[in-house]
Structure 1
């Protein structure tokens, strides 16, 4: 492990190789895929063995995050995505897990050296400090930096116009990290299979988003009416289309590898979560679900 400065606690220490999207999520996607492989959207022509990671945290902070990850994995993630459950009670660990996920997304995306306005940079600086303080136990609340968790499931219809024909595959299978910036707001977007997390930095519509807000102490996830911020559906559909376009540009050799993997093990394909997500899209969009080649 290289020596360096921990991104969270700022201590000088040996720095561990940390996953930004939790490792157990990538492992689940790989194990439940049609082919047994995963692919990164920015390296679509290469099978990936693991998801994005970098030297980020000291041992102490890594262990801190790992504890919250375990709670989320065992009490929410696996029951929802593998067993089809839709309700779960949670404790204070969920707000910590969500804040840690937003912090990881924010620090990773900002490390990619995208030029942002002074206003946005200041907003994100303040959000990063607030999240760090909460995660390290220096503050007991998140204030305006609310965490909003949306459980997702296969859908057969939507009230939003222009839904892309790979929508269910995106909702149920894709992992992504991004920072959303508008003239008025910045939000931290983290996409897990079956879940979507929005970290707010002081959003004027937060009062309308109470159903998705993660409680600091304890609460319950259950089916309910969720509110998305104005314009978010358009952003989400753009993300979905970009995945479709990425896979449509895959090399023929790689497409043939996927096809051959399915032919070699059709039982795996039929039992996979990839096929299940595709079935939702086919039921919703019919033949349009085949409009462009898709990966594993």
Structure 2
């Protein structure tokens, strides 16, 4: 029996996925080799995403219904290229908040433990965590100053400057991450989530000149994927290049034996590889390099 991180009740805790299980299940299923690897540990095959004993069964159930709706209405259609129009209600705000809150809660513990955060920045995170927790528990009807945004990453048509060293399509479309990001230069903070190209950002403290067009998640609304018309200017989107750099460094660390295993996995079913999203992302990155 331990205290639940969300409701605070003394109950038996369950192993909770920080990023929902359906993401990793789909990622593994659609991998051209049937395996998953972390950029930080490229020589180790993993079977699942991070899980922590932090929620009781009651609070796990609070999240499950909206996770299912998001998976069926957004995640799976996006990754099967069938996402056209997303009509959403409160479920989308709740889903995003639930995933962002889990990352933020654990990151606060980490920041405090390592004592590597400014006290004012920590206060901002703690205040945001409380607001999000109360919203998830139904103790408040809105998130106050906190904003949830969603951005659907698609093939890049052109880029400014020399980005030839970065494989953005592979890095963004092939990774799953969630963490708290603090921009010291712009005095702003966020929870940044990437679900294989579905970019989700919870703004905890907004930068003065940030621009987010057609990405804000309200109580209800519509995202038209046939005419997405996204426009974003934010410090947090520098993390896209951080993901690409992580991929670059990961490839430098992978052993020859692991490279051989990957090649062998592809050779067993080359047709699967040629039809995979991973191969399409490689082609998109090659197209950008040639341009």
Above 0.5 in TM-score?
A: yes
Checking the alignment, whether the CA contact within 8 Å between 1:160 and 1:233 is kept in structure 2 is: no
Conserved? CA contact 2:152–2:199, under 8 Å: yes
CA contact (8 A) 2:183 2:236 kept: no
Question: For each residue in 1:141-175, what CA deviation from the matched residue of structure 2 results, as whole angstroms up to 9, or x when unmatched?
Answer: 11111101111122232346536431001221211
Offset at residue 248 of structure 1 (A): 2.0
> C-alpha distance in 2, partners of 1:47/1:14?
30
Partner of 2:136: 135
- Asked if structure 2 preserves the Cα contact closer than 8 Å seen for 1:148 and 1:199, the reply is yes
| Correspondence for 1:198 among 179, 197, 201 | 201
Report the 3-state secondary structure (helix = DSSP H, G, I; strand = E; otherwise coil) of the residue aligned with 1:9: coil
Kindly tell me: are residues 168 and 176 of structure 1, through their superposed partners in 2, closer, same or farther at Cα, counting changes over 3 Å? same
Where 1:212 maps in the other structure, the secondary structure is coil
Instruction: Provide the C-alpha distance between the structure 2 equivalents of 1:202 and 1:47, rounded to a whole number of angstroms.
Output: 36
Label 1:168 to 1:84 Cα distance change in 2 as closer, same or farther (>3 A). farther
Q: Distance in 2 between matches of 1:99 and 1:16?
A: 20
> TM-score normalised to the size of structure 2?
0.91
1:158 aligns with 2:163: no
Q: Distance in 2 between matches of 1:193 and 1:53?
A: 19
User: Which stretches of structure 1, 4 residues or more, deviate above 6 A after TM superposition?
Assistant: none
Q: Which has the higher strand share?
A: 2
Residue 185 (str. 1) matches residue 188 (str. 2): yes
CA RMSD of superposed structures (Å): 2.0
Unaligned runs of 5+ in 1: 289-296
| Residue 86 to residue 277, structure 1, CA distance change in 2 (3 Å) | farther
If the length of structure 1 is used for normalisation, what is the TM-score? 0.90
Q: Which deviates the most, 274-283 or 43-52?
A: 274-283
8 Å CA contact 1:179–1:188 kept in 2: the answer is: yes
Equivalent residues in 2 for 1:119-134, closer than 5 Å: 119-134=120-135
- Deviation track 1:239-260 (CA, whole Å, cap 9, x = no partner) reads 3112221122111111111011
Give CA deviations for 1:49-68 in whole Å, capped at 9, x if unaligned: 11111111111111111111
1:57 is paired with a residue whose SS is: strand
The answer as to whether partners of 1:154 and 1:168 remain within 8 angstroms in 2 is yes
State whether structure 2 residue 23 is matched by structure 1 residue 25: yes
1:182 Cα offset (Å)? 2.2
**Structure 2 unaligned regions, length at least 5:** none
The 5-angstrom pairing of residues 174-253 of structure 1 reads 174-183=175-184, 184-205=187-208, 208-222=211-225, 223-253=227-257
Whole-angstrom distance in 2 between the partners of 1:20 and 1:206: 31
Aligned 1:53-92 pairs, distance under 5 A = 53-92=51-90
Work out whether 1:259 is the aligned partner of 2:260: no
